[in-house]
Structure 1
């Protein structure tokens, strides 16, 4: 049986009522003694009607949620006979706790919506709920019940993107883009003489009447040839080896990153999810590779189900120990656009990007390092950061000189910000043109 303890209200009522009642009886004042009856009876009534069973609390947190302004989960409360209210305290890492008082009805289940925010994606411990039941008159209280926190997979959010860069070669016979070869499409390629294999419905009668008539007779037919359509293959390469925050003191692993800080892996997940949604939304094929894991990659595919598969794999990507350096770059489909999302704090991601570029792929490097807070750096830490920053800038410069197009993805700002403008600039360039 759960123990229900008296509160200060009950103790104060008992002491006040008994004291006034005794004082009135000793002084021969029945009117004064009558004043102590009410608080004394109220305290006794509240104690005798205290609940005998525990408060039932259950948090039904979803297994996965998508990062947004608010993450919600329902909490179910069931009060025993005699419980009239429950005091709740909801908390999640990186947020201020919130408290409220909920009224309970005997035998009925009360549903309360828990809401929190999280700047971190991936596996998170959210929705911790501390509950205390209150008896009749709020003079008794039960034991503190703690439920959670629950393990929730927070999927990365997605920013809207418009124009995107394309690989130098498009594949397939159908797709959303106009290819360079002649075929069935909408964009005009040229007007040429009718040859074997041309369809009759493509005959341009006006051009034939103007150019193909000799001596009043139609001698030649002209057809309108169009560019065929094809799809692009995009391979997103995420670097899960690094998960650094804006505090440089946490980069060496001696201190943990605050749960209220956005890390480089959070930015990479959001950027990759946004790119996957944009490319798949226009009919292209998207694959996923992780430089920090030796697991089987997500092969290029299309459709809504494939987007869900890619986003979930992104949310599950996390550093796992110290991976061994790769001897060779992962294989990607021929003619694919390779997008490398990394902090470029070491040489491996830059080396892989240059390898793919030298193999003839169009490579876009997305810098996902969060803005650094330098106000609290010591002199020694500031010197070390400057050296690491100079080496990192040298790698980015080497990438640009090697033909890799570098884009910085901003973690903050309104949805149109980030790398949207830079990606649109890359989309206007000729396929495969060096930077």
Structure 2
């Protein structure tokens, strides 16, 4: 099992009906309580039967008596068979953390008492959730055989904090005359962590500056990659002796290696805008979708390589800066931070928050990766400033390809402006904004910052090789 698969807990065998493997079940549930009460149908049957029988007796109408007698018999029979003991019902949501595309379930466990004939469970529809059954409700018509269990499966289709439910359970008596219906059961917000896209990078980070790791340092030390063969010196270890060269020259020679160090990667996710329309992990993604999933993929790759990874969400409210760390626990923390990202409102407070976040210092040797749709001037200016200071900086363009052209469909345009403002003027305004974006991107490239679109595996390989060559050559930096 990979680190990402273990974020939501230990997996269980088997696939759920809605598709997607569920994670460890949360035991227990909420015990529900209510009282038996007559249903409106039972009340109507009593009233109508009494009315028809009264009309038949007073007005001597046998037809009214014929119509009212069956209703009276059913009402009396239902009243005699009414349940007197409350059933034992527990309801719960199985999982507290999900991944995109993963399935959980609202579950109700019912131990019916005498007089109970049917039970039902219904779940309120929420955005970016797929239900099985599609009606979001399930019923069992004959429960006289013993305890029953009902499940409504919910598949989370997009990262974020999902409110699944609430769920409502109801128990009915014979003829639907009495119902035992407690209030809706609410569950806490369920974090849905982003599903990392396929990503791999063969090139190591350009400037490792740690203690241990897999990245080759520019300095010689104990490592695995050969650096040079030189004459033996006092203090060299015997296991470093290179015997072929020593025999050929008649003097002892030893091998030297490059040190293996870890790198520090800082991921800056731009949440100031969310351009495009998101349809879930199986469909099209918005700019924020691309940024969050790309950040998860990059973090997973470098953490597996033994590097230190940190993350900062720019412009998001209540999203703390996560200091660089190592290991599986760091990946869990990063995915949890990404799952709670909310796009900024675009107000003055968000602009001040962005300026404060950009003022955080970046330690030497850190590789800074901006994941942004490249429409925020402040973000691009900060990337150029870091590059001038000598910090290795890369900008990953997360703007959807379909949004990079001026010919937008009405549906795409509705994701940028309110529907009442979607017109030819709005389309022209977006074309002008793309021209400004192109100018800012060109200006940022001229300052030495590479800007690449997100394409999955190999996105950063060529760029990091170029940065590594530049780091080995003399350069002028701004302090």
Given the two structures, how large is their TM-score scaled by the length of structure 1?
0.77
What is the distance in 2 between the residues matched to 1:66 and 1:181?
41
Query: Counterpart of 1:322?
Result: 350
Q: Does residue 235 of the first structure (1) align with residue 266 of the second (2)? A: yes
What is the distance in 1 between the residues matched to 2:289 and 2:431?
24
What is the distance in 1 between the residues matched to 2:296 and 2:244?
49
Contact kept? 1:88, 1:102, Cα under 8 Å: no
- 3-state SS of paired residue (2:244): helix
Query: Counterpart of 1:123?
Result: 161
- 3-state SS of paired residue (1:288): strand
CA RMSD of aligned residues (A): 3.9
Query: Counterpart of 2:294?
Result: 271
Which of 437, 453, 463 matches 1:426?
A: 463
Query: Counterpart of 2:381?
Result: 351
Q: Does residue 341 of the first structure (1) align with residue 376 of the second (2)? A: no
Which of 327, 334, 350 matches 1:310?
A: 334
For 1:96-135, what aligned pairs fall within 5 Å after superposition? 97-102=135-140, 105=143, 110-135=148-173
What is the distance in 1 between the residues matched to 2:410 and 2:244?
73
**How has the CA–CA distance of structure 1 residues 164 and 349 changed in structure 2, closer, same or farther, with 3 Å as cutoff?**
farther
Contact kept? 2:204, 2:215, Cα under 8 Å: no
**How has the CA–CA distance of structure 1 residues 74 and 192 changed in structure 2, closer, same or farther, with 3 Å as cutoff?**
farther
Which of 437, 442, 451 matches 1:392?
A: 437
User: Which ranges in structure 1 are unaligned for 5 or more consecutive residues?
Assistant: 27-32, 213-219, 248-256, 410-417
For 1:32-431, what aligned pairs fall within 5 Å after superposition? 44-52=76-84, 56=89, 58-60=91-93, 62-77=95-110, 79=112, 81-90=114-123, 91-95=125-129, 97-102=135-140, 105=143, 110-138=148-176, 140-143=178-181, 145-148=183-186, 150-163=188-201, 166-212=204-250, 220-246=251-277, 262-292=285-315, 297-318=321-342, 319=344, 321-324=349-352, 326=355, 329-370=359-400, 371-372=402-403, 374-376=409-411, 377-409=422-454, 418-429=455-466, 431=468
The worse-fitting range, judged by mean Cα deviation, of 319-328 and 352-361 is: 319-328
Deviation at 1:279, TM superposition (A): 0.7
Cα deviations by residue, 1:81-100 (Å, 9 ceiling, x for unpaired): 42222233322224464222
The worse-fitting range, judged by mean Cα deviation, of 275-284 and 320-329 is: 320-329
**How has the CA–CA distance of structure 1 residues 136 and 288 changed in structure 2, closer, same or farther, with 3 Å as cutoff?**
same
Deviation at 1:383, TM superposition (A): 1.1
Higher-Rg member (1/2)? 1
Contact kept? 1:6, 1:141, Cα under 8 Å: no
**How has the CA–CA distance of structure 1 residues 221 and 334 changed in structure 2, closer, same or farther, with 3 Å as cutoff?**
same
Query: Counterpart of 2:17?
Result: none
Deviation at 1:175, TM superposition (A): 1.1
**How has the CA–CA distance of structure 1 residues 97 and 381 changed in structure 2, closer, same or farther, with 3 Å as cutoff?**
farther
Deviation at 1:336, TM superposition (A): 0.9
Contact kept? 1:130, 1:147, Cα under 8 Å: yes
Contact kept? 2:319, 2:337, Cα under 8 Å: no
Contact kept? 1:58, 1:147, Cα under 8 Å: yes
- 3-state SS of paired residue (2:274): coil
Deviation at 1:236, TM superposition (A): 0.8
Query: Counterpart of 1:252?
Result: none
Query: Counterpart of 2:477?
Result: none
User: Which ranges in structure 2 are unaligned for 5 or more consecutive residues?
Assistant: 1-34, 61-65, 412-421, 472-479
Contact kept? 1:233, 1:286, Cα under 8 Å: yes
